[in-house]
Each structure stands twice: as structure tokens, then as C-alpha cells.
Structure 1
Amino acid sequence: MENFRRDGLTFDVLDAGPSDGEPVVLLHGFPQDSTAWNRVAPALHQHGLRTLAPDQRGYCTMARPRGRSRYRLRETTDDVLAMLDAAGLKSAHVVGHDWGGLVGWALGAWHPDRVRTLSVLSVPHPAAMAKAMVTSDQALRSYYVGVFQIPVLPERLLLAGRGAALRWVLSRAGLPDDAVDRYVARMREPGALTAALGWYRALPWNGQDPVGRIRVPTLHVWSTGDAFLGRAGIEATEQYVDAPYRLEVLDDVPHWIPELAPDRVAELVAAHVRSA
């Protein structure tokens, strides 16, 4: 499958690996795209797994709707369900990083019948994140979320000078140069950065529809070098999971776990899939 459609939008998908393998959905975050999994997916294929990595809402030329509400979590989770339907899959193993991880949490809470196992990289459960915002330094780490709520200004600042500011931010946060080049090029496409920021700007709508308890086997991976997400929310997450839960901590790896620790991610996910 190369793409699928939902509500007039067309999403690109990297569908690879053994066609009869256990299906694993790979969900990227901001400002990444499906290529975030370029080194993880082949390793999963070696374990006999099929991978489906979509360019999520806002990251495809044909899937950039206008309006903040079009990027709320209910919409982004329904996109994944539409992909499973298009692929003829009743359920799949779900792996998400950053915003893709939040989609994973929502799928595990709202649609446990469609999720065989859940693996979340970097981000805590939304309720644990909310708790950490008032009990730790997480609010300081997340200052940029407030900045992203401002209309127009973030786009102008980050894309000035052919994306020089965005390039500097990503490089300083530890993202490899080749990935920086790919993601900056994607964000410089017309309307791309505004669409990607729509995920942040839709947060008020997400608050109206909270993510509940997780009822599927869950692997949680966090890295101590993450400048954006601290330990407090990660350690509080287990209390929101009513299923087998495992936390794996990677030492000194920055936020970009799929790009920087692909072999370890593939090893952990493959073992989690087998355990189910």
C-alpha cells in the first residue's frame, strides 16, 4: 500500500517488509515524517515484521487541511484507523514517537481492539504529562508549546533565512544533519509548517476529549538526554496503564530516539511483539 484516503485527504505510507509478517504501525512526531523510521523499519523486517509508516496529517501535500480543530487527537487517531482499514487489518502493533506517541496513547485508550501492543517513545501518557507540568520542571521544558500557539509568528521565525532557525533548533537538540536537512526541506513546503504546528494549536480540543486508561500491553522508552521531556511524567505513566507495562531508559540519547537508537528500538519492539 502506497497511500490511503480519508475525508478527501490522501496520506502517503511506506509499507514494507514481509507481507505476511505481524503488522507494525510506525507513527512519527514533529517536525519529522515517515523517514524518521528509515533505520528502524529494516531492522524490524529482519525480525519478520511488516511495517506501515504513514506521513501523518499535515505532513503530506494532499493532507494539510486548514483549521486548528482538524488536527485534534480524535482526527489523527481516526487517520490511523482508516489506514488499518485500507490495509485490510483488524489490528496492528503500534509504535509512536513524540506526537506519534500521543496518537498511540489515544489508540490504546480509545481503540484497544485495534492495538495488539503499544510502544511509545519519549512521551508520557497525557494525564501523566499534565501532572508533571505542575510538579516538576516540565512546564519550563515545554515553553515552546505556548510559543507555537501564537499565529503566524513561529512560522516566520523558524523559516526565515531558508529555515535557518529551525535548522539551528533541531541541530542543537541533537538531531543528525541528514535528518535535519530532510525535515527542514519538508517544513519549507507551502503550508507545511503551519499544518504541523496545527497539532499543537489543537490542544484546546484535545482537552475536551481526554485520553483514558491504557488496556493493551505497553512498552515505554525514554532517554535521559531528552531536553523536551523530563523524568517526572515518564515515571508517573505506569499508573495509567491497566495492562503489562515495561519502561526502558536509554542513557544519554537525545529526544530523537528513532534516528539515534534505531537498532535498540527495533530490538525492544520486536521483543515486545513476540511477548504478546
Structure 2
Amino acid sequence: MMNLDESKLSHRYTERNGVRLHYVEAGEGPLVVLLHGFPEFWYSWRHQIPALVAAGFRVIAPDMRGYNLSDKPAGISAYTMEELTADIAALIRASGEARAAAVVGHDWGGGIAWGFAMHYPQLLDKLVILNAPHPERLLRAFGTARQLRKSWYMFFFQLPKLPELLIQRNDFELPRSFFKKDMQRPDAVSEDDLARYLEAWRQPGAFTAAINYYRAIFLPSSLRAAHNPPRVDTPTLVIWGEQDSVLGSELATPDPAAAPNVRVTYLPDAGHFVHYDRPEKVNEHLLAFLQQP
């Protein structure tokens, strides 16, 4: 496993509609955009950035709006899929590239990556998803008792203020324990890694912004869009850790009518944070897909 040399990263900013977005950049070559999930920031890709750079790619890994060093606009409507995907389009344009060779997303970043492929297909060549269901697939799964038991927190997050209060108790004991709980590899997240996440979580408004991602998906406009999403024709690789405690493995494969060009790779010894648990395997599958003509 390659270690991240942060001295080789450039920290940059771009702005869209008054929201300043922070991202790290490294390498030269075809552009790959890495989108982190909840409750993370660009550092979640610490195992993938050096592998991609060594393979000849240019990497951009943003702090999504609301996270870490990016701005945290107020209000739920600032975190709709329309706003989040437009941020990614702005990042690609700010890079000076006409399009990305690939957009890669995990968890919420995966949901945004799906949405980006739906609404900006002209801006990417390939799509890679890590443990994030196609939105139409997730919406249907809410009709099953099994997934409702796993997804209880999404509904809890709809409450005002209380989720933030519970998450911040005892210096973020709940998200710290979640990181540890879902890992199949005991050393997947070190104490130094947790210190980095805590630094990001302690920033004013950070967890309200992160939870607003979940609140925004239940806005009427978001629910209508999820019922009839545009088809994704982009070549897509889904990498799925089967020991995911919050998303059932049956969610990995989208309806072929919604995304007909999808290949799914299951990793039976990985959980929700598949790129932490099995970084070498994830990098192997990711690079093979990206280097495929």
C-alpha cells in the first residue's frame, strides 16, 4: 500500500455562486475527481491518491460543500443534488480540463457521482462507485423492512438540532465509534487519522451541513427527481464491500433500465468504508477499469 506524501499535494480553492470550495490536487495526466462521503473530507482518499498519481493520473479531491475547509452555506436547500453536482462541474472547469476521465465517489460522494453522471454526462468518461446505491434503487429499498432497519439514521437526521447535539456529545463519540464499528481491518483508521477527522468535525457548522445532505433528499423536489432519474449510460464500475452495516449488498446493482453499462465487483471482506478496509484491492480494480480502453 502506497503512503500519501502530503508535501506533493497542492491545496486550491474555487468558487461557485459565492460558495468557496477547497480541494487538493496532485499528479499529471487524465483527470480523476474523487468525492468523499459522510462524515469525511478529502483525506478519505489517502490510499487512492498516491496510487492514481503513480499510474499517471491527475487527481482532484475536494472537500464537498459543508465539509472541512469548504464553505458551509446555511439552509437545507443549499445541499440539494442540483447544487452538489453543479459544484463538481465547477471543479472540473476550474481544473482547465474539458472533462474528467473519471468521477469516483464513495457513500454520499457516490450518490453525487451518480447524479453527476445523470446531469453532466458530457463532463466525464467513466464512473466509479464505492458502496453507494443508485438513487432509484435506494428509494425502492426503503419499502423493505431490512433496509429501513439499516437506514434508520436517515430518518432520525430529519429532526431539527437533536442529531447535531447527539453527534457532538463527548467530542464526537458517535461518529468515532461508527468509523471503528464498520471496519473489517483493525488498523484501517489510526488514532492519527481520527485526529484529522476530529479537526474537520470541530469546525463551526460542519455537522449541521453534513446532516443537511440527508435532510435535502426528503425535500419534495428531491423525491420527485429520484422517482424518474435520467438514465446513466456512462461506463460504470461499482465496488461494494459486502460487510456494509448500513447498506445491503442487494443495493449494489442498479436497475439495468436506469444504468445499463455497469459492472459490479464485490469484496466480501470489506465493510462500508471499502477503500479503508481493502485499499490494495480497491486500487487494483479502480486502476484496471480506468486504464481499460
Is the TM value for this pair above 0.5? Answer: yes
- In 2, distance between residues paired with 1:113 and 1:55? 23
Equivalent in the alignment of 1:171: 180
Q: Does 1:69 align with 2:69?
A: no
Q: 1:10 aligns with which of 9, 20, 28?
A: 20
Give the gaps of 5 or more residues in structure 1: none
Equivalent in the alignment of 2:5: none
Secondary structure at 2:197's aligned position in 1? helix
- Work out whether residues 226 and 253 of structure 1, in 8 Å CA contact, stay in contact via their aligned partners in 2: yes
- Work out whether residues 130 and 240 of structure 2, in 8 Å CA contact, stay in contact via their aligned partners in 1: yes
Query: What residue identity is the alignment partner of 1:6?
Result: R
Alignment deviations for residues 144-181 of structure 1 (CA, whole Å, 9 cap, x no partner): 00111111111111111222233223222226234333
- Work out whether residues 124 and 237 of structure 1, in 8 Å CA contact, stay in contact via their aligned partners in 2: no
Equivalent in the alignment of 2:153: 144
The Cα of 1:240 is off from its aligned counterpart by 1.9
Q: Does 1:209 align with 2:225?
A: yes
Matches within 5 A, 1:3-152: 3-18=13-28, 21-92=29-100, 93-135=102-144, 137-152=146-161
Equivalent in the alignment of 1:197: 211
The Cα of 1:135 is off from its aligned counterpart by 3.8
Task: Choose 123-132 or 112-121, whichever is displaced more.
Answer: 123-132
- Work out whether residues 27 and 53 of structure 1, in 8 Å CA contact, stay in contact via their aligned partners in 2: yes
Equivalent in the alignment of 1:222: 240
The Cα of 1:217 is off from its aligned counterpart by 0.3
Alignment deviations for residues 91-145 of structure 1 (CA, whole Å, 9 cap, x no partner): 1110000000011101111111111100000011111111222246111110000
Count of matched residue pairs: 273
Secondary structure at 1:65's aligned position in 2? coil
Query: What residue identity is the alignment partner of 1:34?
Result: W
TM-score, structure 2 as length reference: 0.88
Task: Choose 90-99 or 61-70, whichever is displaced more.
Answer: 61-70
- In 2, distance between residues paired with 1:136 and 1:207? 20
- In 2, distance between residues paired with 1:13 and 1:188? 19
- In 2, distance between residues paired with 1:46 and 1:34? 18
- In 1, distance between residues paired with 2:148 and 2:70? 34
- Work out whether residues 10 and 60 of structure 1, in 8 Å CA contact, stay in contact via their aligned partners in 2: no
- Work out whether residues 22 and 69 of structure 2, in 8 Å CA contact, stay in contact via their aligned partners in 1: no
The Cα of 1:11 is off from its aligned counterpart by 1.0
Task: Choose 204-213 or 81-90, whichever is displaced more.
Answer: 204-213
Q: 1:258 aligns with which of 262, 269, 275?
A: 275
Query: What residue identity is the alignment partner of 1:207?
Result: L
- Work out whether residues 110 and 130 of structure 2, in 8 Å CA contact, stay in contact via their aligned partners in 1: yes
Name the % identity.
34
TM-score, structure 1 as length reference: 0.93
Alignment deviations for residues 20-57 of structure 1 (CA, whole Å, 9 cap, x no partner): x1110000000010000011110111211111000001
Q: Considering only aligned residues, what root-mean-square deviation do their CA atoms show, in Å?
A: 1.6
Q: Which has the higher contact order (CA 8 A, sep 6+)?
A: 1
Task: Choose 261-270 or 81-90, whichever is displaced more.
Answer: 261-270
* Large movers: runs of 4+ above 6 Å: none
The Cα of 1:203 is off from its aligned counterpart by 0.9
- In 2, distance between residues paired with 1:274 and 1:252? 25
Secondary structure at 2:20's aligned position in 1? strand
- Work out whether residues 132 and 232 of structure 1, in 8 Å CA contact, stay in contact via their aligned partners in 2: no
